[in-house]
Amino acid sequence: MTVPGRTADPRSNAVHNLREARIALDEGRPGEALEFAEKAVAAFAWLDDVEGVAEGVLAQSVALGKRGLWPSALDTIDRVQEIAAANRHIGLQARCSFSRAVVELRLDSRERSFNSFARALGLAELTGDNELIGSVLFEQARVMRVQYHEHCMIRTEESRCSLDGEPCVRKLRRAEALCAQVRDRWKQVGDPVRMAMVNVLLTHVRIDLGELDRAHRSWQRADQLLAGRNRPVARAEALMARARLSGARGRHPEQITQLTQAAELAMSCLAREVAVHAHQQLSEAWERTGDFERALRHARLQLEQYRLWELQEGRDLLRMREHDLSSRLVEQLAHRRFEPKREDAVVRVPHTGELRETGTAEHTNTRIARALRAGLTKRGIEVLRLVAAGASTAMIAESLGLSPKTVQNHLQRIYSTLDVNGRSGAVVWWMSLTDS
């Protein structure tokens, strides 16, 4: 059975796991993020993709930082940063700065974190990485909203200060503007889950501003984006935003129903942190209705979920200490170089003796004969042999005297003829031809 979002192509699976690791970090699930990152790192290592390994290591480091292992996390990020700088890899340097900023936020070092965010944003804009640019702006928007609540929000509605001209409200307006920029960036990436996340944040910001109709439209967009998707944590957070909106409009029965659904969703997927907040808000909602018995019940459930959350964090922490692959992988990265990305870069073509052709001459002849029977042309077989030997597109082009575009055309015909997904599938097909 095929898992949704997964394919038989190792590269696609590696990219999928890396993306899931980053979303898990955004949703406050560092334990799951570590698992996805480990899978991504293993796959990228098998594919000999140094950049992919490095990005997986950074995701691991952020997971470590979010569980309190700050020295290990920052040390690993610094070492990857050194490797990226030595290879002049701007995109990876941007990702390093972003990872450092997120860990520094957990350390409550906001000034340093803002500096790291600024550096990450500048580098990401140089590379045009819309996913990363959106992530930087999203984190900045969240911090702006937190600052508003820390410095300016007075809990009792009767004594609430006027919004007009308040410096703290300018933070909310700034957060709203940042959310708009995030949507513009992530819309180009085409990731519905991330788009839902920013709309949930925008819902909260607009509720803070008292703009309930606009907040409702933001929540509707988030709900539409999550429709039919197996994203219980994101749906729980969207429901909590909807409940907050219902409470602001005085619809307390709806608020309680929505918070109950959010708590059940969070507990079903062991998202303890979200469950803690949902039960806390349920306790407060029942207290406002005068039902102190139910308010006390949810206060106890909040405490229970908080204890389970602490136990979960402890298990994650032990697991991270035992299975942290970051240091070992960074050591491997330190002895390897990133392949040049520039069009004018010099690409070294391996000599025939350097190519990793495996098997005897008889095996090779058998493979060629069966490849011909499968429908490959002579040129297609030449390209496939070089792919199986580990040559890149540029290497194949120079070795055979072809243009890179022509090589790509040959590769697409090979994939279609063999009915495989990408290079890895073609290599497996070639290497699996035996004398049977």
2 with 123, same domain? yes
pLDDT tens readout for residues 285-342: 888 888 888 888 888 888 888 887 777 666 655 555 554 445 555 555 555 555 544 4
What local confidence, expressed as pLDDT, does residue 98 receive? Answer: 92
Number of domains the chain contains: 3
99 with 136, same domain? no
- pLDDT above 70: residue 267: yes
171 with 122, same domain? no
Mean pLDDT of 241-254: 91
DSSP assignment of 274-324 equals HHHHHHHHHHHHHHHHT-HHHHHHHHHHHHHHHHHHHHHHHHHHHHHHHH-
More confident residue, 330 or 349: 330
What's the rounded Cα separation, in Å, for the pair 369 and 367? Answer: 5
- pLDDT above 60: residue 159: no
117 with 143, same domain? no
Q: Is 371 helix (H, G, I), strand (E, B) or coil?
A: helix
- pLDDT above 80: residue 385: yes
What local confidence, expressed as pLDDT, does residue 166 receive? Answer: 58
- pLDDT above 60: residue 85: yes
Structural domain includes residue 116: yes
Structural domain includes residue 287: no
* CA 321 to chain CA centroid, nearest Å: 22
What local confidence, expressed as pLDDT, does residue 216 receive? Answer: 93
Structural domain includes residue 322: no
- pLDDT above 90: residue 242: yes
More confident residue, 425 or 315: 425
41 with 100, same domain? yes
Between the alpha carbon of residue 290 and those of residues 179, 275, 284, the distances in Å are: 37, 23, 10
What local confidence, expressed as pLDDT, does residue 127 receive? Answer: 87
Structural domain includes residue 237: no
What local confidence, expressed as pLDDT, does residue 341 receive? Answer: 44
Mean pLDDT of 216-234: 90
Structural domain includes residue 390: yes
What local confidence, expressed as pLDDT, does residue 164 receive? Answer: 44
Between the alpha carbon of residue 156 and those of residues 147, 259, 274, the distances in Å are: 18, 21, 24
What's the rounded Cα separation, in Å, for the pair 33 and 218? Answer: 27
Provide the domain limits for residue 172: 130-154+163-230
Examine the fold and report which residue of 230, 258, 288 is the final residue of a domain before the chain moves on. Answer: 230
Structural domain includes residue 189: yes
Residue 424 structure tokens = 């890895």
Question: Of the given ranges (118-122, 325-329, 384-388), which has the lowest mean pLDDT?
Answer: 325-329
* CA 357 to chain CA centroid, nearest Å: 36
Mean pLDDT of 270-289: 85
| Structure letter (DSSP) for residue 161 | P
122 with 167, same domain? no
CA angle 145, 150, 153 (to 5 degrees): 85
Examine the fold and report which residue of 178, 210, 230 is the final residue of a domain before the chain moves on. Answer: 230
For 432, the enclosing helix (H) or strand (E) is: none
More confident residue, 365 or 253: 253
122 with 142, same domain? no
Residue 136 structure tokens = 């930087």
Question: Of the given ranges (73-82, 164-173, 358-367, 381-390), which has the lowest mean pLDDT?
Answer: 358-367
pLDDT tens readout for residues 205-224: 999 888 999 999 999 999 99
- pLDDT above 80: residue 108: no
Structural domain includes residue 17: yes
Examine the fold and report which residue of 182, 199, 230 is the final residue of a domain before the chain moves on. Answer: 230
134 with 86, same domain? no
Residue type, 135: S
Yes or no: say if 414 and 388 are a contact pair by the CB < 8 Å rule: no
387 with 357, same domain? yes
Structural domain includes residue 169: yes
Count of residues making up the chain? 436
- pLDDT above 60: residue 56: yes
pLDDT cut 70: percent of the chain above it: 80
Mean pLDDT of 244-258: 90
119 with 53, same domain? yes
| CATH code of 79's domain | 1.25.40.10
- pLDDT above 50: residue 10: yes
4 with 102, same domain? yes
What local confidence, expressed as pLDDT, does residue 312 receive? Answer: 65
| CATH code of 373's domain | 3.40.50.2300
pLDDT tens readout for residues 357-366: 444 455 666 7
110 with 26, same domain? yes
Mean pLDDT, rounded, of the chain: 78
- pLDDT above 80: residue 436: no
